[in-house]
């Protein structure tokens, strides 16, 4: 791991962060074996960051484990899917007046020690949304199945063309957002397989997106939702959604006065 990652591994080293109201949003579906470690890592990174686990209709002990580890748990009455779960987190962040939100998965694949790298461009006012990318770094990237890698590359290529900026990882759920980013996603967030469409949405609303290189861990346990067949379904569906989305009218979110 590089020095930069070590240096930024604790929030205390980030100037200006302590003054912000900040929250971590952690979507979790049946992550009873992973979620406690995620909460502990977040706490170790930044004891002043609130942690919200969105339990997306789990049938295991995810809520109980997350509560016991000290997180606030928003328990959805049934499975909304990742988009609905994440948007619930952003609505919470927006309504509770948070200045900064980070989002990371409840399965432990995102390493909270790398949050410093993801948060920094937001703190410096250089981006509204920062995405931790597995493919932005040169050299050895993230290893995942061949179909999935090809799919991710193709989506990144299409999205880069549409938005006019190079993006390498349109499916990453490892992110940091300022108030404008939180407001956008609180109001409008795609469903089903949301991250790709969300990336396009960010540009269409003229928010600034920046990628930073991160490494991600392999899934520790549980079952991946994405099989080879689903990868293909995902690709077709997301590409269609992007093209349909191009014809949608833009709704630029205003600060809510209600």
Ligand X SMILES: Nc1nc2c(ncn2[C@@H]2O[C@H](COP(=O)(O)OP(=O)(O)OP(=O)(O)O)[C@@H](O)[C@H]2O)c(=O)[nH]1
Q: Which does 82 bind (CB under 5 to 8 A by kind): Mg ion, ligand X, none?
A: ligand X
- 151: contact with ligand X by CB under 6 A: no
Q: 27: which strand partners? A: 54
Q: Measured from the CB of residue 173, what is the shortest distance to ligand X in angstroms?
A: 6
Q: Under the criterion CB under 6 A, does residue 82 sit at the interface with ligand X?
A: yes
Which residue, among 197, 150, 189, has the nearest Cα to 171 in the 3D structure?
197
**Exactly one of 10, 75, 149, 219 binds ligand X (CB under 6 A); which one?**
219
Residue 170 pairs with which residues in a beta bridge? none
Tell me how many residues contact ligand X (CB under 6 A): 18
Contacts of 82 (CB under 8 A, 6+ apart): 27, 29, 56, 173, 192, 193, 194
- The span from the CA of 193 to the CA of 38, in Å, is 22
105 vs 111, beta carbon nearer Mg ion: 105
Residues in contact with Mg ion by the rule CB under 5 A: 105, 107, 109
* Options 79, 160, 165, 215; binder of ligand X; rule CB under 6 A: 79
Q: Hey, what are 30's tokens?
A: 């049946």
What are the backbone angles phi and psi of residue 252, rounded to the nearest 5°? -80, 120
Instruction: Please choose which of ligand X, Mg ion, none residue 28 contacts, taking the beta carbon within 5 to 8 angstroms, the exact cut-off set by kind.
Output: ligand X
Give yes or no for a contact between 104 and 27, defined as CB atoms under 8 angstroms apart.
no
Alpha helices in 141-227 (DSSP H): 146-163, 179-187, 194-204
Q: Pick from ligand X, Mg ion, none: which does 101 bind, CB < 5 to 8 A by kind? A: none
Residue from 151, 173, 194, 213 touching ligand X (CB under 6 A): that is: 173
3-state SS assignment for residue 211: strand
Instruction: Determine if 198 is a binding residue for ligand X (CB under 6 A).
Output: no
Given the DSSP bridges, would you call strands 100-103 and 175-177 parallel, antiparallel or unpaired?
Answer: antiparallel
In the window 3-32, what residues touch ligand X (CB under 6 A)?
A: 27-29, 31
Of 85, 159, 196, 200, the one binding ligand X (CB under 6 A) is 85
Shorter beta-carbon distance to Mg ion: residue 107 or 211:
107
- Indicate the burial class of 78 (C-beta count within 10 angstroms; 0-12, 13-18, 19 or more): exposed
Told to check if 89 binds ligand X by CB under 6 A, we report no
DSSP 11: G
Among ligand X, Mg ion, none, partner that 225 touches (CB below 5 to 8 angstroms by kind): ligand X
Give the shortest CB-129-to-ligand X separation in angstroms.
18
Q: How far is the CB of 135 from Mg ion (least distance, A)?
A: 16
Cα→Cα distances 207→145, 167, 184, 203, Å: 32, 14, 9, 6
Residues that bind ligand X (CB under 6 A): 27-29, 31, 56, 79, 81-82, 85, 105-107, 109, 173, 219, 224-226
């Amino acid at each position: 791991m590089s020095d930069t990652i070590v240096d930024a591994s604790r929030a205390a080293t980030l100037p200006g962060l302590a003054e912000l109201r900040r929250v971590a949003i952690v979507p979790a579906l049946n992550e009873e074996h992973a979620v406690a470690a995620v909460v502990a890592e977040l706490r170790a990174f930044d004891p002043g960051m609130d942690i919200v686990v969105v339990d997306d209709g789990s049938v295991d002990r995810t809520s109980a484990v997350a509560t016991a580890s000290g997180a606030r748990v928003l328990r959805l009455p049934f499975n909304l899917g990742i988009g609905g779960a994440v948007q619930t987190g952003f609505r919470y962040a927006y309504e509770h007046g948070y200045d900064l939100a980070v989002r990371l998965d409840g399965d432990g694949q995102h390493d909270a020690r790398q949050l410093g790298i993801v948060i920094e461009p937001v703190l410096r006012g250089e981006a509204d949304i920062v995405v931790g990318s597995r493919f932005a770094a040169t050299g050895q990237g993230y290893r995942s199945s061949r179909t999935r890698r090809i799919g991710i590359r193709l989506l990144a290529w299409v999205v880069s063309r549409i938005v006019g900026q190079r993006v390498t990882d349109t499916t990453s759920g490892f992110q940091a957002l300022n108030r404008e980013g939180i407001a956008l996603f609180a109001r409008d967030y795609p469903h089903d397989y949301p991250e790709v469409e969300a990336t396009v949405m960010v540009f269409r609303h003229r928010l600034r997106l920046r990628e930073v290189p991160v490494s991600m861990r392999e899934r520790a346990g549980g079952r991946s939702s994405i099989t080879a067949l689903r990868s293909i379904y995902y690709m077709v569906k997301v590409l269609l959604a992007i093209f349909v989305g191009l014809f949608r009218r833009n709704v630029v979110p205003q600060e809510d006065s209600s």
